[in-house]
């Protein structure tokens, strides 16, 4: 990997360069303590010290709602929506970058999803280092550091950022703007390492993941599922804010002429009753207990060898019933 340093005073110029690639989205403060990736026009709109956004960056690739195609029954034809344009997503944390890699494993497998793949390939991801709060446990999940899955990754140091170059696209940007970037000095590297050390020490929440898949398997009938299901509202918020939840439902909308319309997909939630329901009324996950257990199992299930939970903490932060993923897992393990 190649490393550079981007001095603080060059950050504004760097932002302008990003605007040259495509629309820039960054973490914007939208409420007292809530952040969202929004389209931004200047660096001042962005808060790169944010802890987490409510909705993860998956929204750029797997849209909350999107048209698969428009159809016309009369003419027997359908058409796909035009390709998405290039997007720059500035300030993505390591957990979210690792989450996108998990989604890649699903949406860009041997039968790749065209919409996801096109957007993923035309996106430019700039990662940023972060400081964990009391809900973060990515370190336990092995996702606190992104080894790849980004174009550039910025690690804050006192005089700016240590920049890791993660792709050819990232390299091209650095190469075409040599005046903004310099080679890291020994003290920059030393500071980068010290910052990483401090960051890892800052994690308060920990989850023991040793053999966790088996722990869940053997706990299939554990009372913890019923206990937690009694607290759970079954609202599906955890699915919406989860950076690796990717279930979708499909709906056809028909126009007033009853001949044309569109097929649309939208985010779905495994916590909702309909998720396991088949025609005829049989439900394979009939109660909240089965649905909750399924969600936890899915999150520690392996996707290409990595756990599907990246420890971002969103599900616990935004759960209206205050259910903590780590706490439930610890009960399952018999550690709480």
Partner 1 sequence: MGENNVLSPSPARILKTENMTPIEKHIELELEDKEFAKSFVYKPGQFVEVGVMGVGEAPISICADRKREDLLELCVRKVGRVTNAIHRLNVGDILWIRGPYGNGFPMEKMEGSDLLLVAGGLGIAPLRGVLQYALNRREKYGKITIMYGIRCYTAMLWRDEFLDLFYKGDKNNVEFYLSYEDSSDKQCYELQCERSDRCIQGVVTRLFELKDVKPENTYAVICGPPIMYKFVVQELMKRKFDPKKIYMTLERRMKCGIGKCGHCIVGTGKNIKYVCKDGPVFTYWDALNTKGMI
Report the interface residues with partner 1, using CB under 8 A. 68-69, 71, 73, 76-80, 106-107, 109, 111-114, 212-214, 216-217, 220, 246-252, 254, 258, 261, 263, 265, 268, 270, 275-280, 282, 284, 290, 294, 296-302
Widest pairwise Cα distance in the chain: 69
Of the pair 184, 234, the CB lying nearest partner 1 is at 234
Distance (Å, whole) CA 46 – CA 162: 19
Return the structure tokens found at 328: 């439930």
CB of 108 vs partner 1, minimal distance in Å: 10
Q: Edge to edge, what strands does the sheet with 65-72 contain?
A: 77-79, 65-72, 260-267, 248-254
Of the pair 288, 299, the CB lying nearest partner 1 is at 299
CB of 314 vs partner 1, minimal distance in Å: 18
Contact between residue 237 and residue 318 where contact means Cβ atoms under 8 Å apart: yes
Q: Are strands 123-128 and 87-92 parallel, antiparallel or unpaired?
A: parallel
Question: For residue 322, how many other CB atoms are within 10 A of its CB?
Answer: 9
Of the pair 183, 214, the CB lying nearest partner 1 is at 214
CB of 99 vs partner 1, minimal distance in Å: 15
CB of 61 vs partner 1, minimal distance in Å: 12
Of the pair 194, 213, the CB lying nearest partner 1 is at 213
The phi and psi torsions of 5 (rounded to 5 degrees) equal: -120, 135
CB of 75 vs partner 1, minimal distance in Å: 11
Distance (Å, whole) CA 25 – CA 30: 14
For tokens 């699903």, what's the residue?
Answer: 106
CB of 267 vs partner 1, minimal distance in Å: 10
Contact between residue 294 and residue 270 where contact means Cβ atoms under 8 Å apart: yes
Of the pair 107, 124, the CB lying nearest partner 1 is at 107
Of the pair 1, 76, the CB lying nearest partner 1 is at 76
Distance (Å, whole) CA 158 – CA 148: 24
């Amino acid at each position: 990997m190649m490393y550079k340093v981007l001095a603080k005073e060059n950050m504004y110029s760097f932002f302008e360069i990003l605007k040259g690639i495509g629309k820039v989205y960054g973490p914007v403060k939208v409420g007292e303590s809530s952040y969202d990736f929004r389209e931004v026009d200047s660096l001042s709109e962005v808060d790169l010290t944010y802890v987490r956004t409510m909705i993860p960056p998956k929204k750029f690739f797997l849209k909350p709602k999107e048209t698969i195609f428009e159809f016309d029954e009369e003419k027997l034809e359908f058409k796909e929506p035009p390709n998405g344009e290039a997007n720059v997503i500035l300030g993505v944390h390591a957990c979210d970058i690792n989450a996108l890699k998990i989604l890649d494993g699903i949406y860009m497998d041997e039968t790749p999803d065209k919409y996801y793949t096109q957007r993923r390939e035309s996106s430019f991801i700039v990662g940023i280092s972060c400081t964990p709060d009391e809900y973060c446990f990515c370190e336990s999940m092995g996702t606190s550091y992104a080894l790849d899955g980004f174009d550039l990754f910025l690690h804050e140091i006192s005089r700016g950022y240590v920049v890791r170059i993660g792709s050819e696209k990232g390299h091209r940007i650095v190469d075409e703007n040599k005046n903004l970037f310099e080679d890291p000095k020994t003290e920059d590297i030393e500071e980068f390492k010290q910052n990483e050390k401090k960051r890892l020490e800052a994690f308060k929440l920990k989850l023991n993941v040793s053999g966790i898949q088996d722990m869940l398997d053997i706990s299939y009938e554990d009372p913890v599922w019923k206990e937690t299901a009694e607290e759970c509202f079954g609202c599906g918020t955890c699915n919406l804010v989860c950076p690796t939840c990717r279930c979708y439902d499909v709906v056809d909308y028909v126009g007033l002429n009853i001949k044309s319309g569109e097929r649309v997909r939208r985010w779905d939630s495994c916590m909702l009753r309909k998720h396991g329901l088949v025609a005829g009324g049989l439900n394979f996950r009939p109660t909240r207990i089965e649905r909750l257990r399924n969600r936890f199992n899915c999150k520690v299930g392996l996707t290409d060898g990595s756990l599907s939970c990246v420890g971002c903490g969103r599900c616990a932060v935004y759960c209206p019933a205050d259910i903590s993923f780590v706490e439930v897992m610890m009960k399952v393990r018999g550690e709480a």
